[in-house]
Amino acid sequence: MVTIYDIAKMVGCAPSTVSKAFNNYEGVSRQTYQKIMEAAESMGYTMNNNARALATKKSWLIGVLFSEDAGTGIAHPHYSTILQSFKSRAGEYGYDVVFLNKRLGNKEASYLEHCIYRGVDGVLIAVGARYEEEIQDVLASDIKRVSVEAAYGNTPLVISDYRMGSMQALEYLYFLGHRKIAHISCPVWSVAGYERYEAYKAFLKSKGLEENPKYLVETNSYSLEEGTKAATELIQRCWGDLPTAVYAGYDDIAWTAMTTFQAHGFRVPDDISIVGFDNVTVSGFTTPALTTIAQDRIVIGQKAADVLIQSIENKEMDNPSEIRIPTKLIVRNSCTRID
Amino acid sequence: MVTIYDIAKMVGCAPSTVSKAFNNYEGVSRQTYQKIMEAAESMGYTMNNNARALATKKSWLIGVLFSEDAGTGIAHPHYSTILQSFKSRAGEYGYDVVFLNKRLGNKEASYLEHCIYRGVDGVLIAVGARYEEEIQDVLASDIKRVSVEAAYGNTPLVISDYRMGSMQALEYLYFLGHRKIAHISCPVWSVAGYERYEAYKAFLKSKGLEENPKYLVETNSYSLEEGTKAATELIQRCWGDLPTAVYAGYDDIAWTAMTTFQAHGFRVPDDISIVGFDNVTVSGFTTPALTTIAQDRIVIGQKAADVLIQSIENKEMDNPSEIRIPTKLIVRNSCTRID
DNA sequence: CTGAAAGCGCTAACAG
DNA sequence: CTGTTAGCGCTTTCAG
């Protein structure tokens, strides 16, 4: 392994000078700087970050806290897309991203212990509010952090504007003439579920529409079956008085609900209009193609990285505790005008 | 920050003794071991891995090499599921997983440089063969590694048995009486695409069926449009002599192809049977539900971790250069018997 | 502008 | 069984 000592010897200067050169500190003449760089290049020098981290107490490492539950971890497209984007942005600043486990060597440990063990400069929190307990010690610590999922005390939060998205969906349906609008909610223990649900109620109130309990069905998990179950339930409960439109909490259940309606002989959008949320890839290929609300996960990941790194580097900023990313209505063919 | 010196002082022993205790080395009496652990506990000690790594040249860190291309990076369900599983398994062994960027601080760098910078103990390679050039320096190095995507020289490879899967799909169709079987291939620049394509040809030959070029359509990318395009193409090319079944390279194109056939008035499976590959979640909810080949990504991730870590820890093993994970036929409703 | 020296927290011989 | 000592590779005063 090539070290700064090797370079110093080769160039004929002190190791500390080499260090300064690599850190672009002032106080190194152009000449020696040049010689150092050439020597480093020719000898194949790469800095050892462990040594650097030990000396500086800065690891250039960001930890990510992911739930390992099926359907909510990295394997969920929502989070993996955000993570991908976060990682790219963090990389631009010189930070690497490491997954934090809940064990240390062979024994159980807390996330906080793991943060200390790795000396991370900050963490990305991507676990839902249900798991607050597991991360409470890091929340209580002074580790820099950002969340993309739930509001944790004074932890900055970067998340889609679910209220805005819901309004876009609902206003659109309203505009098309729909007044009997049902809602299939995401699980309300998730921020996404809760906020969309609240927005739905607020919308009804704002339009002077009555809240028909028959038109509201809550799901308990993020699985595709929920759409099927919800649609079936809706059909049973509302026989003879079916809603003319449904606002589904997210695309997966929107399209499985759509399929279910169709299987029962209802035409979409002629008999019933459907709007989803998320604009997942699938939505463009269903029959009919699904009208939905797009959320910008790339931007979420980038902003989260920006916020976290600014906080790590103590850049003066107006530390916004909550950043909402705008959503967008994507009109396709699952909704129609009624009179 | 609490260090082993603090603990040593508290307990009244030498720092090295504390170190030994934490590493479970022999030569520490039960008594002092106990006292050390208690002190550590009460003082809230957590080991500093940077220091440890500096001294031992072992980081307990595994790097992952992911392509950042849309559709093939972490955001792709295939890889994210494998990664999730890999990370869990690695965690059990005490290793953390870090994403490797292609830059160092503010300047471009190679993956190898980044490996050295972080001092990773090994790497998981999850980039396709197309990107071999980007990683060739790590392939040429003596860094321990495992691949889950392509065969890179003597790098151990853990991957589904695509040939087996293809045979399961094709034999099933054959069993149902199909003789005119088309294939919509994945891009052949990917291992998955190439092997499934080869298996298709081998199957035809083994059954004495002629290779009808009209029945073979190759896709150029992993996007859903490809299924639509391929099905349209198939319909045009084979008008009057349509295949009775199609083996699609993966589920996403299988179901968009299915939708396309339906849109053209063909019934699935009555007019045409379809088998996919992957068993993605969506497949269970299409109309009809898609018959497909399941691959076990959880096992792939685990095995990859096992192989890599064994190699890191120099466990004697029969260093299998290629591990194929069995696939499974999932029968649903997109195929029917013909006579 | 450059160098000497101490130290970051831990491990690894080697003596005792 | 326990302690001493000398690093691991880099940064950081502080003199020169």
Distance separating alpha carbons of residues A76 and A221, to the nearest angstrom: 13
Amino acid at B71: G
Identify the weakest region by mean pLDDT among A96-105, A155-164, A177-186, B98-107. B98-107
Q: How far is the CA of A95 from the C1' of D11 (A)?
A: 19
Output the pLDDT for position B67.
76
The DSSP 8-state label assigned to residue B287 in this structure reads S
* pLDDT confidence bin for A319, thresholds 50/70/90: low
Q: How far is the CA of A120 from the C1' of D3 (A)?
A: 33
Length of chain A: 339
Distance separating alpha carbons of residues B84 and B71, to the nearest angstrom: 17
* pLDDT confidence bin for A317, thresholds 50/70/90: low
Contact between residue B128 and residue B72 where contact means Cβ atoms under 8 Å apart:
yes
Distance separating alpha carbons of residues B175 and A24, to the nearest angstrom: 70
A296 versus A108: the higher-pLDDT residue is A296
Three-class secondary structure of residue B217 per DSSP: strand
Nearest residue, CB atoms, A117 vs list B49, B80, B104: B49
Q: Kind and range of the H or E element at A98?
A: strand A96-99
The mean pLDDT of A183-195, rounded to a whole number, is 92
By DSSP bridging, strand A145-147 and strand A96-99 are: unpaired
Q: Which of residues 143-162 of A touch strand C (CB under 7 A)?
A: none
Q: Which residues of B29-63 are buried (b: 16+ CB within 10 A; e: fewer)?
A: eeebbebbbebbeeeebbbbbbbbbbeeeebbbbb
* pLDDT confidence bin for A47, thresholds 50/70/90: very high
* pLDDT confidence bin for B319, thresholds 50/70/90: low
Report whether pLDDT(A71) > 60. no
Which nucleotide comes closest to A57 if you measure CA to C1'?
C8
- Tens-place pLDDT, residues B262-316: 999 999 999 999 999 999 989 999 999 999 999 999 999 999 999 999 999 987 5
Identify the weakest region by mean pLDDT among A26-35, A53-62, A201-210, B244-253. A26-35
How many angstroms separate the CA of residue A210 from the nearest CA in chain B? 33
Pick the closest to residue A51 from B50, B61, B3 (CA basis).
Answer: B50
How many angstroms separate the CA of residue B135 from the nearest CA in chain A? 17
Q: What is the DSSP string of A25-77?
A: -SS--HHHHHHHHHHHHHHT----HHHHHHHHS---EEEEEE--STTTSTTSH
Distance separating alpha carbons of residues B151 and A144, to the nearest angstrom: 41
The mean pLDDT of A70-95, rounded to a whole number, is 86
Output the pLDDT for position B127.
84
Chain C positions within 7 A of any protein Cβ atom are 1-5, 7-13
Q: Where are the beta strands (DSSP E) in chain B?
A: 61-66, 96-99, 103-104, 107-108, 122-126, 145-147, 157-160, 181-185, 216-218, 245-248, 273-275, 292-295, 322-325, 327-330
Output the pLDDT for position B104.
75
Q: What is the DSSP string of B132-174?
A: HHHHHHHHHS---EEESSS--TT--EEEE-HHHHHHHHHHHHH
Q: How far is the CA of A30 from the C1' of C5 (A)?
A: 25
Distance separating alpha carbons of residues A86 and A268, to the nearest angstrom: 38
Residue B282, chain A, CB below 8 Å: the answer is yes
Distance (Å) of CA A140 to CA A119, A143, A144, B41: 17, 9, 11, 19
**Residue in chain A lying closest to B251 (CA):** A282
Nearest residue, CB atoms, A50 vs list B59, B259, B282: B59
The separation between CA B274 and the C-alpha centre of its own chain, rounded to angstroms, equals 25
Residue B47, chain A, CB below 8 Å: the answer is yes
Residues in CB range of B333: below 8 A, 6 or more apart: B269, B288, B289, B290, B291
* pLDDT confidence bin for A127, thresholds 50/70/90: confident
Three-class secondary structure of residue B216 per DSSP: strand
Q: Which residues of B touch A105 (CB under 8 A)?
A: 60, 94
- Residue of least CA–C1' distance to C7: A55
- Tens-place pLDDT, residues A236-292: 999 989 999 999 999 999 999 999 999 999 999 999 999 999 999 899 999 999 999
Output the pLDDT for position B19.
93
Residue B106, chain A, CB below 8 Å: the answer is yes
Q: Where are the beta strands (DSSP E) in A127-252?
A: 145-147, 157-160, 181-185, 216-218, 245-248
A59 CB contact with strand D at below 7 Å:
no
Nearest residue, CB atoms, B119 vs list A50, A77, A87: A50
Residues in CB range of A81: below 8 A, 6 or more apart: A297, A298, A301, B75
Structure token digits, residue A67: 């739930």
* pLDDT confidence bin for B134, thresholds 50/70/90: confident
Q: What are phi and psi of A51, to 5 degrees?
A: -65, -40
Proportion of chain B above pLDDT 70, given as a percent: 96
* pLDDT confidence bin for A77, thresholds 50/70/90: confident
Contact between residue B17 and residue B8 where contact means Cβ atoms under 8 Å apart:
yes
A16 CB contact with strand D at below 7 Å:
yes
Say whether A84 and B100 touch across the interface (CB within 8 A): no
Distance separating alpha carbons of residues B332 and B339, to the nearest angstrom: 20
Q: Kind and range of the H or E element at A87?
A: helix A77-93
pTM of the model: 0.94
Distance separating alpha carbons of residues A78 and A304, to the nearest angstrom: 14
Structure token digits, residue B191: 């291992």
Q: What are phi and psi of A330, to 5 degrees?
A: -110, 110
The separation between CA A339 and the C-alpha centre of its own chain, rounded to angstroms, equals 39
Distance separating alpha carbons of residues A133 and A137, to the nearest angstrom: 8
Tokens 């059990």 belong to residue = B92
Amino acid at A296: D
**Cα first-last separation, chain A:** 77
Distance separating alpha carbons of residues A189 and A195, to the nearest angstrom: 10
* pLDDT confidence bin for B102, thresholds 50/70/90: confident
Which residues, numbered 112 to 131 in chain B, qualify as contacts with chain A under a Cβ-Cβ cut-off of 8 Å?
Answer: 113-114, 116-119
Proportion of chain A above pLDDT 90, given as a percent: 78
Contact between residue A98 and residue A63 where contact means Cβ atoms under 8 Å apart:
yes
Q: Which of residues 16-75 of A touch strand C (CB under 7 A)?
A: 16-17, 20, 26-29, 31-32, 51, 54-55, 57
A3 CB contact with strand D at below 7 Å:
yes
Task: Name the β-bridge partners of A322.
Answer: A157
- Tens-place pLDDT, residues A326-335: 999 999 999 9
Q: How far is the CA of A20 from the C1' of D5 (A)?
A: 30
The mean pLDDT of B40-47, rounded to a whole number, is 93
Residue B19, chain A, CB below 8 Å: the answer is no
Residue A209, chain B, CB below 8 Å: the answer is no
Q: Which residues of B touch A61 (CB under 8 A)?
A: 98
Which residues, numbered 66 to 85 in chain B, qualify as contacts with chain A under a Cβ-Cβ cut-off of 8 Å?
Answer: 68, 73-75, 77, 80-81, 83-84
Pick the closest to residue A241 from A286, A265, A272 (CA basis).
Answer: A272
Residue A53, chain B, CB below 8 Å: the answer is yes
Amino acid at B8: A
Output the pLDDT for position A153.
87
Q: Which residues of B touch A103 (CB under 8 A)?
A: 91-92, 94
Output the pLDDT for position B318.
61
Q: Which residues of B touch A116 (CB under 8 A)?
A: 1, 46, 48
A1 CB contact with strand C at below 7 Å:
no
- Tens-place pLDDT, residues B174-230: 999 999 999 999 998 889 999 999 999 999 999 999 999 999 999 988 889 999 999
Q: What are phi and psi of B321, to 5 degrees?
A: -80, -15
